[in-house]
Amino acid sequence: MALRTAQEYRNSLRDGRAVFFRGQRVADVTEHPLIGIAVEHAALEYTMPQDPRWRSLAVVEQDGEIYNRCYKIPLDSADLLKRSELIAATTREGATYPVLIKEIGTEALFALRMIGSLLAAAGKPYYRERVDRYYRYCRDHDLALAVAQTDVKGDRSLSPGAQEHPDYYVRIVAERDGGIVVRGAKVHTSLVTNANELIVLPTRLMKSGEEAYAVSFALPVNTPGLKLIASPHGSEPKDPIEHPISARRKMMETLTVFDDVFIPEDRIFLKGEVEFAGPLAITFVRFHRFTAVSYKLPLMELLAGAGYAIAEANGIIAAGHVRDKLTHLAAYHSIALGLLQRAAAACTVEDGVAVPNTLLVNVAKYHFAHNYHQAVQLVQDLAGGLLVTAPAAEDLSSEATGEYTRKYLGGRKGIDAQARLRLMYLIADMTASDYGGYQEVLAVHAEGGFEAEKIQTFREYEFAPVAAYARRLAGI
Amino acid sequence: MALRTAQEYRNSLRDGRAVFFRGQRVADVTEHPLIGIAVEHAALEYTMPQDPRWRSLAVVEQDGEIYNRCYKIPLDSADLLKRSELIAATTREGATYPVLIKEIGTEALFALRMIGSLLAAAGKPYYRERVDRYYRYCRDHDLALAVAQTDVKGDRSLSPGAQEHPDYYVRIVAERDGGIVVRGAKVHTSLVTNANELIVLPTRLMKSGEEAYAVSFALPVNTPGLKLIASPHGSEPKDPIEHPISARRKMMETLTVFDDVFIPEDRIFLKGEVEFAGPLAITFVRFHRFTAVSYKLPLMELLAGAGYAIAEANGIIAAGHVRDKLTHLAAYHSIALGLLQRAAAACTVEDGVAVPNTLLVNVAKYHFAHNYHQAVQLVQDLAGGLLVTAPAAEDLSSEATGEYTRKYLGGRKGIDAQARLRLMYLIADMTASDYGGYQEVLAVHAEGGFEAEKIQTFREYEFAPVAAYARRLAGI
Amino acid sequence: MALRTAQEYRNSLRDGRAVFFRGQRVADVTEHPLIGIAVEHAALEYTMPQDPRWRSLAVVEQDGEIYNRCYKIPLDSADLLKRSELIAATTREGATYPVLIKEIGTEALFALRMIGSLLAAAGKPYYRERVDRYYRYCRDHDLALAVAQTDVKGDRSLSPGAQEHPDYYVRIVAERDGGIVVRGAKVHTSLVTNANELIVLPTRLMKSGEEAYAVSFALPVNTPGLKLIASPHGSEPKDPIEHPISARRKMMETLTVFDDVFIPEDRIFLKGEVEFAGPLAITFVRFHRFTAVSYKLPLMELLAGAGYAIAEANGIIAAGHVRDKLTHLAAYHSIALGLLQRAAAACTVEDGVAVPNTLLVNVAKYHFAHNYHQAVQLVQDLAGGLLVTAPAAEDLSSEATGEYTRKYLGGRKGIDAQARLRLMYLIADMTASDYGGYQEVLAVHAEGGFEAEKIQTFREYEFAPVAAYARRLAGI
Amino acid sequence: MALRTAQEYRNSLRDGRAVFFRGQRVADVTEHPLIGIAVEHAALEYTMPQDPRWRSLAVVEQDGEIYNRCYKIPLDSADLLKRSELIAATTREGATYPVLIKEIGTEALFALRMIGSLLAAAGKPYYRERVDRYYRYCRDHDLALAVAQTDVKGDRSLSPGAQEHPDYYVRIVAERDGGIVVRGAKVHTSLVTNANELIVLPTRLMKSGEEAYAVSFALPVNTPGLKLIASPHGSEPKDPIEHPISARRKMMETLTVFDDVFIPEDRIFLKGEVEFAGPLAITFVRFHRFTAVSYKLPLMELLAGAGYAIAEANGIIAAGHVRDKLTHLAAYHSIALGLLQRAAAACTVEDGVAVPNTLLVNVAKYHFAHNYHQAVQLVQDLAGGLLVTAPAAEDLSSEATGEYTRKYLGGRKGIDAQARLRLMYLIADMTASDYGGYQEVLAVHAEGGFEAEKIQTFREYEFAPVAAYARRLAGI
């Protein structure tokens, strides 16, 4: 068995997990008005592999085994490109809302595998063996995965041990027969409300003395002591016409609490080896930002596409400043796509795993992220104030107001009020709603913020040869 | 009588006006769940003048008459500065949500007065007389005003007469004894659902042959045939802790339909004089953008202030990149404020009215608008991903989740989880919600978009002397 | 014969060509104090192929023939990448000063070949045959080439025929037995003072009625009537230590006058076929901008490298803002390089010629060009005011001043005054000299300006599918 | 006596001063081919006060005394505005090249006076008395002044005492009867080659233990031991038509060496009071940046004016993108001017001296500086490649080439080749020459670099009230 159906996925979520929404325990996440949307959205990763249009992209058949392509360990550029295409295709089907129910988890598995090899080389072969077994388990059961990495951190200028209390970073509080007990909390955990398994990674490098914080492990989401406090952001009920994306799409975020959770030995992937915490965190991110740019592509396509469609509808497509703005959106998208494809082509194979070029991935991610708000501004500019002043969906058909709305809100010849307003609703949902805000904050913070991307770029760029070139030209 | 109470204002809105929300007629705007919020918000302009803290700023006593300062015709820089201070103070009290229930209308009145003088000089003294009478009427009854300017426009590349139907711009369809009948629709009409009077201005210059479109007038909001189709943007019910601004503040926007509305002669301020349509539109904007920068000041203060407060709460205030970002926010605000104050000081007195320096006002407005999204990005960057992943307000006190939320979401020493989360909620409401989207779209489009501001800057800047300087230095 | 020596190249330039400098005829360009520098600089393209370090990159051996790689018609991505590498390597050896004595000409030949095929398909096979012969002639004689494309244009808002005189665009003024007579002038002609052959292309699309202007041809530089008026920009004698680049490197620019020049039939590649003028101009540019980004790479390397080296010398490498600026320079370079490599990989083979992806090439070129001045600013910022206030090279050794200069202008430990000053001189030469100005103007204008790059990006980006995606999500 | 003539100024410079150029002692600065230009340029501050057109602006008559306005201690906004106008007017006459031969020195005197009062309050009244005497002496003799502030600094990450040798910052090496002996060197000293007096200020705050470095004093330029090593930047001879600014204008920069120079007591203004070194440095800068923005105004005027004139000459003034670029230049200038004027209006009177608003001055300076390179890019864009490819001045009249140059390089109707080329020469001189580079580096570094301006902005902006506003809205 390796490909589950959407129904199997849904059923698997009714397992007694401790999910809380607005202070209340959620009885069944699949039935919850908000989390239920997230479940259906994530189910895309179970329906697409069954769909003949996507099967060849979404499914791998290898040595008689069939499994989801997300689980494919990339061996070369071609694998990376296919993976990237699948991520983009899924997000495109998901109307630009990230899906990622297998992507982030497999990135963590790739990173754990690579660090496992290093740990093996350092005399601890068992971590890598556990990772391999766990990987096979997840892949063969086609599981939905989430990853918890970012600790709550308390005072962000202080290290784990210098905080007001010792639990601001997840840590081992006890060792028991056959396992450990962990305590702490992670923030920004995407997807876990509707995943089967949760993989936990350290968030940063650790130093000697911080052994308890150098910990990585995995656990089923219904493990006792694991408590998921869901964010209500974007939870207000939405009209599906006015919110064509966010009324039907959702990814949950949680505060993930480890209230003295027991982790059995076979699920522990790092335990006190402080010198591997940083490399593990960073190796994960090397894959994670490649995924990030991949899943942002449909969003960039939509910015350019919606900008073009609404400019055309408004009758302004021939204006010089409009073309200038559309050109900017086109370049914005093209740079990210071009760098991503080059990053895949320029991958390095490390321990048998193809890793996309880290410099270019970081540059591409920063390019996307740093310029996102400006792209939003351009699309809002092309659309016009109707984004926030247009009548409601009901006003298109209402006996009292429909006549006026239809008469007065048409655009250029051939674009009736309904078409124009629906484009406005789309752009408003994408840029001027809580979903728009969510995407802005994701751009700034998801997969590491600006400063993280800049630090990584500084590290990866080879200054030595260019500085030598400068010195040579200077004659020194 | 010249200062109404908030209650008088509320009562005055129960006048049979034709307001529609989601296709349904609204029986009483003051009781409507959304528009009622807008009424209470606008009522600030009736409560503040009664409040000793604001009275001297908000009220003018002149020649034995007492009236709201918004109605004060500015005679000099000092008047402009006072007006600007009042606008800023009101918006500050209004938690950065624009109030403007008297500001925009009085700007229109100032412009109508000035154009009225030009019309008088051109042989038609009656327009100016009507404006004067109407101004006194509004001022003496302390009326709430709205202005409708932007026509629906259809194909924006075509002139009024070249559209698919002739009603894409508001026009005179008939002349009757003692008045005219107008038809058409205006978009982006702020405030009119809860104003007493509506003033209508042309949206652009008109050419010979477009006489029917060169029309300006005023009317009570309950005039038969006037139909207000309210926008539902931001209408979802909001938790007041998670949305400290937008749960309690609102400005309504409408599609304003003139379904063959009769306007009596005494309320007609332009009727066919095409050469005055453009000047009227632009003169209004000369005041309007001065107001715009004034009411944006509290928003810019809040961006800098919230950025500072959350950076401090997160324990990152000493980091170099954080100071850099805060400095950017400080400069962003200071430039707008500095230019606004200079624009008031450098006003020109035209026909007895002090007009703020148009070049500087446009530059200040463009500075605010063009850089707004970037400022948002900076504040989101300083705050962190909790903006969209934080638990709910209920999770601070819930028996099930409160303990965890309070333990894990504290910030630097002295900042508990509640304080930190409330700052996050504030910033999320301001930047990552439908209100955040509303402000972004306002920045881009309100009071004229980027291109309008740039055209005005190009026109106002004196290229002749600097080009002469260049030619002199070039020796030609 | 196919590889000339530098000496053969020099000798070939003593051919009676009509070159003028500051109003005077130049007797021998190789001996001229300024043009002589340009000759030696261009000679790099004759010395590098003879140099074992570069031979395999710079020389192609094919079917028993040996020729310079610039003449290699690119058949696939690999050919494009090799070509790009050679261009970068040559410019790197040339200390960031463009060399290009074969590159631009071969780009023109590739374009002429492709348009020749289209003309053949349209019933005129002879153009393509002439191009083929001419290509073999140039390649087999290892000739140095220049291209003249930009007409002087007069009033740039008017078409060729609407100008004050008909010669503002190069045109055919007569047809004679076996050829044509051309008149007019081209500006910004690089290299022609020291090339063997000049290829002339139309600068823009031509319309019916402009047949005389739709002309393309080639001629030896010493053809009677061809007059080259060299630009004096950067002609002041320079101290070689203070100007480590520009004292020894130069590319000449000319106003190229066609004073009724006879062109024999076999060198005519377009004659009146107006519909092919635009495609020819654009096809050339498709190659030309790929070359452009290739030869800018060493400049971007030097910006990053010099920035790093001087920051280190100044002892500020650990400062946060310094790392931020260096990261920006690193990203600046990496984006251009990544996009260029992707553009080669994503080439299309058209009429047997591999053409780099036009969208990505334009985006990469625009990225370089638009951000160049900012990169200069960053490097100047890292270096410090000594760029323009430092003592002279003589002050390092002078008896009167050497002691002070050496004592006081050292940097961090290990960096003596000489090393630090030489880095300052390098950066000043690169960014704060007439050479620096030259590079700025090249960034803005060479190979087509910003607007040209934006228009091309707008054309090449596929808006249709992304607009369809937007409409699909909007439900229309 | 209080107003010297230009000839008196010139004569005063023949005083045996030790000026070195390219390692050689300069016998007479007024006769030196480069420094002589600087002398004549600086002489503007002696000719303008004699010129009836400028006399009322440049000269102050007070209590029967007549002196140059630069020496006027500003008592209020009006004084600051006049001072600013004079600086702008002088630089305008100086063709955008800074003159400043009295400005910088008087800024230092104002700062010394204010710090002198603080020292008096701290029990040391003599410093203030010395400053007052020295101020009268300079003013009454209408002296030309220079200021040396920036130490050479060695490793910029280390404090004065931690350097490789103790002389990287100017320091007191001995106390003698009636004075002190100082040693060290200052860089970036403008004007001193042709000033009468040099005022020395500390460059940064000093800490306990750094008493020897906390020193301020003044001395005549011909004092034994003072050695001025002039920078050769921009020293190549220039054609006056091709370089209409820099062929006739110059400001010298030096490495200023104090080779055990004796300073008599009456010229010592700080001696070991470490806690006053930082305040003195910063107080000077508060005036200095106000001057900076003032003298940058003509440069910004010229950017806008030259951009406009050349766009018109090229026939592109009506293009949308051209207007956009000109609008940007107009706004660039207007923001700086507006903020400067507001900074003067919002001055604070401290110890009887009007100090322009420090926040706005820093913001204005940063605005100018940070956007300068972009403004240069825009002007280069508007001008075209002829900036660096145009024929020489001689080619306009040469018998051999004049005919072609005149025929082919005309612009739109009415603009002949000479006019167009002279505009090109002007813009090239301003942006694509060593003078252009000088202005770029000045923008980045003069009067303190970007980081200094940002730090000052961060300090001056009042975060407390806006953070309180944020907390109030957040409900905490």
- Which pLDDT score is estimated for D100? 97
Q: Does A466 touch chain C (CB under 8 A)?
A: yes
Q: Which chains touch B (3 or more CB pairs under 8 A)?
A: A, C, D
* Mean pLDDT within A154-183: 95
Is D343 in Cβ contact with B345 (below 8 Å)? Answer: no
The reply to whether residue A461 touches residue C334, judged by beta carbons under 8 angstroms, is: yes
Q: How confident is the model at residue C2 (pLDDT cuts 50, 70, 90)?
A: confident
Give B320's contacts in chain C (Cβ within 8 Å). Answer: 319-321
Candidates A229, A407, A445; nearest CB to B401: A229
Pick from A327, A342, A425: CB nearest C458: A327
Does A320 contact chain D (CB < 8 Å)?
yes
Residues D228-272 have pLDDT tens digits of 999 999 999 999 999 999 999 999 999 999 999 999 999 999 999
Task: Determine the distance in angstroms separating the CA of C462 from the nearest CA of chain B, rounded to an integer.
Answer: 24
To the nearest 10 degrees (0 to 180), the angle between helices D320-345 and A320-345 is 90
Using CB atoms, pick whichever of B306, B327, B338 lies closest to residue D338.
Answer: B338
pLDDT at B1 over 60: no
Neighboring chains of C (3 or more beta-carbon pairs < 8 A)? A, B, D
The rounded distance, in Å, linking the Cα atoms of A98 and A88 is 9
Residues ≥6 apart with Cβ < 8 Å to D259: C404, D183, D225, D226, D227
| Contact residues, B window 424-453, toward A, CB-based 8 Å cutoff | 428, 431-434, 436-438, 440-442, 444-446, 449-451
Give chain B positions within 8 Å (CB) of A399: 23
Residue A124 phi/psi, 5-degree rounding, is -125, 80
Q: What is the mean pLDDT of chain A?
A: 97
**Which D-chain residues 257-286 have CB contacts (< 8 A) with chain C?**
257, 259
Q: Other C-beta atoms within 10 Å of D161: how many?
A: 15
For residues B356 and A415, give the distance between their C-alpha atoms in angstroms, rounded to a whole number: 41
Q: Give the span between the Cα atoms of A198 and A18, in whole angstroms.
A: 13
**pLDDT, tens digit, 9 for 90 and up, residues C206-263:** 999 999 999 999 999 999 999 999 999 999 999 999 999 999 999 999 999 999 999 9
Other beta carbons within 10 angstroms of residue C304's beta carbon come to 29
The DSSP letter of residue A151 is B
- The answer to whether B368 faces chain A, any CB pair under 8 Å, is no
Q: Which residues contact C175 (CB under 8 A, 6 or more apart)?
A: C181
Cβ of C319 within 8 Å of Cβ of B320? The answer is yes
Closest CA relative to residue C172, chosen from C261, C282, C278:
C261
CB atoms within 10 A of CB A98: 27
Please answer yes or no on whether B385 and A255 come within 8 Å at the CB atom. Answer: no
pLDDT in tens, B74-99: 999 999 999 999 999 999 999 999 99
Tens of pLDDT, residue by residue over D93-106, are 999 999 999 999 99
Neighboring chain D residues of A320 at a CB cutoff of 8 Å: 319-321
A411: which chain B residues are within 8 Å (Cβ-Cβ)? 154-156
Torsion angle of alpha carbons D354, D357, D358, D362, nearest 10°? Answer: -130
Q: Is A390 an 8 Å CB contact of chain B? A: yes
User: Is pLDDT above 60 for B313?
Assistant: yes
Q: Is the pLDDT of residue A443 over 80?
A: yes
| C19 Cα to chain A: minimum distance (Å) | 31
Q: Percentage of chain C with pLDDT > 90?
A: 97
Q: Read off φ and ψ for residue D462, nearest 5 degrees.
A: -90, 95
Report helix, strand or coil for C153.
coil
Gap between the terminal Cα atoms of chain C: 66
- CB-nearest to C155 from D25, D234, D412 is D412
Which of B309, B343, B471 is the closest to D470 by Cβ? B309
Residue D266 has what pLDDT?
A: 98
CB A111 within 8 A of CB A36: no
Interface of B with A in 91-120 (CB under 8 A): none
ipTM of the modeled complex: 0.97
> Residue B324 and residue C321: Cβ atoms within 8 Å?
yes
* Chain C residue nearest residue A345, CA to CA: C342
Residue D429 pLDDT more than 70?
yes
- Amino acid identity, position D468: A
CA dihedral C88, C93, C99, C103 (to 10 degrees): -40
For D324, name the nearest residue in chain A, comparing CA atoms only.
Answer: A321
pLDDT(C371) > 80: yes
CA–CA distance, C438 with C432 (Å, rounded to integer): 10
pLDDT at residue number D2: 80
What pLDDT sits at residue D63? 86
Name which of B241, B364, B458 is nearest D327 (Cβ-Cβ). B458
Instruction: Say yes or no to pLDDT of D62 above 90.
Output: no
pLDDT for B73 equals: 97
Token code pair at residue B404:
């965890």
Using CB atoms within 10 Å of the CB of residue C265, give its burial: 0 to 12 exposed, 13 to 18 middle, 19+ buried.
middle
Any C CB within 8 A of B381 CB: no
Res D1 pLDDT > 80: no
pLDDT band at A440; cut points 50, 70, 90: very high
pLDDT confidence tier of residue C286, bands split at 50, 70 and 90 = very high
D411 token code pair: 């612009």
Residues in chain A with CB shorter than 8 Å from the CB of C439 are: none
Query: In a mutagenesis test of the D interface, which of A321, A325, A381 is the best target, namely the one with the most D β-carbons within 10 Å?
Result: A321
Share of chain A above pLDDT 70, in %: 100
Q: Is C64 exposed, middle or buried (0-12, 13-18, 19+ CB in 10 A)?
A: exposed
Average pLDDT over residues B219-231: 98
Which tens digits make up the pLDDT trace of C320-329? 999 999 999 9
Q: How far apart are CA B328 and CA B313, in angstroms?
A: 19
Sequence-distant (≥ 6) Cβ neighbours of residue A181 within 8 angstroms: A172, A173, A174, A175, A260, A261, A262, A263
The answer to whether A233 touches B389, Cβ cutoff 8 Å, is yes
The pLDDT score that the predictor gives to residue B62 is: 86
| pLDDT, tens digit, 9 for 90 and up, residues B350-401 | 999 999 999 999 999 999 999 999 999 999 999 999 999 999 999 999 999 9
Please determine, for residue C399, whether its predicted confidence score (pLDDT) is greater than 90: yes
> In this complex, is the C-beta atom of B222 within 8 Å of any C-beta atom belonging to chain A?
no
What CA–CA distance (Å, rounded) separates B420 from B425?
9
Q: Does C419 touch chain D (CB under 8 A)?
A: no
Chain B residues closer than 8 Å to C319 by CB: 320
Place C63 in a pLDDT band, splitting at 50, 70 and 90: confident
Q: With an 8 Å Cβ cutoff, are D154 and C410 in contact?
A: yes
Give the pLDDT score at A1.
55
Q: What is the mean pLDDT of residues A64-74?
A: 96
Among D242, D395, D432, beta carbon nearest to C23: D395
Distance from A251 to chain C by nearest Cα, in Å? 18
Residue C146 CA to residue C288 CA, distance in Å, equals: 13
